[in-house]
Amino acid sequence: VLSAVPGVWHRLAQRKAVANEDWARHRFAQLTDGPGSYVAHDDLFSPELSDTLRDCLGASLPEDDTLDPLVNVAFSRADADEDGRLSEQEFIAFTWCLKRLAADADLEVEMALLSSSQVPLAASLSGPAETWRDVVLKARQQHRIWADMAFSIMDLAGRGRLSLEDLRRPALEHLLQQLPYQHLSDRKSLWPCVGFALWRSRSERRAGHRGITHGISQADFEAFTWQLVRMEL
């Protein structure tokens, strides 16, 4: 069953990429004079682009100090000729990069397995999608063990809370590199996404930024790092 995961997931991603290309071309035409025009880097932070960013990242957007680094990462990856602006094709790549950073890969795999199965949805609970859920659950349990260990190492004062400054220290990077995920070893890709992963995990747990000034709890840390390792950095 699990051998089918890469194929069905990539086919779903390809369909989404095609849909994004059509959408991004239309959006580019709305924002510019059409093909041959450009979107400047500074324009990405204008009110006119806020709807585009929401379409890529979700209905609500984080604060600028969290959002801007993520936008800059996507821009640098998309700006192939490094001229500080986005052509139509580069704009397509920019929006797709943001969407992949915000994607829930586990949910995508689950839906892809369900859509590729000949078994009716109501009868598929013991099928491939459920098998994938079991795999994710086991991985989450293993991650929780690591997160508890990492939190105790970083919480030197024993306060039961970490600050945002704690997350910026080399200790977190070192601990993340102990995980079996090669993409976490790329510091340039990793650090701009840390703030977004924290914001996203707290939003999913309905915590928002409420209480973040009082520190990051052990539960926050586990959820945040789980979000981070699953991002397409």
Tell me the per-residue pLDDT of 131-176, one tens digit each, with 9 for 90 and over: 778 888 888 999 999 999 999 999 988 999 998 888 888 898 889 8
Band (pLDDT 50/70/90 cuts) for residue 20 is very high
| Close Cβ partners of 203 (under 8 Å, ≥ 6 residues apart) | 60
Give the pLDDT confidence of 82-132 residue by residue, as tens digits.
999 999 999 999 999 999 999 888 888 877 777 765 444 444 445 566 677
| pLDDT above 70 for 227 | yes
Helix, strand, coil % over all residues of the chain, rounded to 5: 70, 5, 25
Residue 124 has a pLDDT of 44
Beta strand ranges found along the chain (DSSP E): 39-40, 85-86
Domain ranges of the chain: 4-103, 128-230
For the 4-103 domain, the top CATH level (class) is: mainly alpha
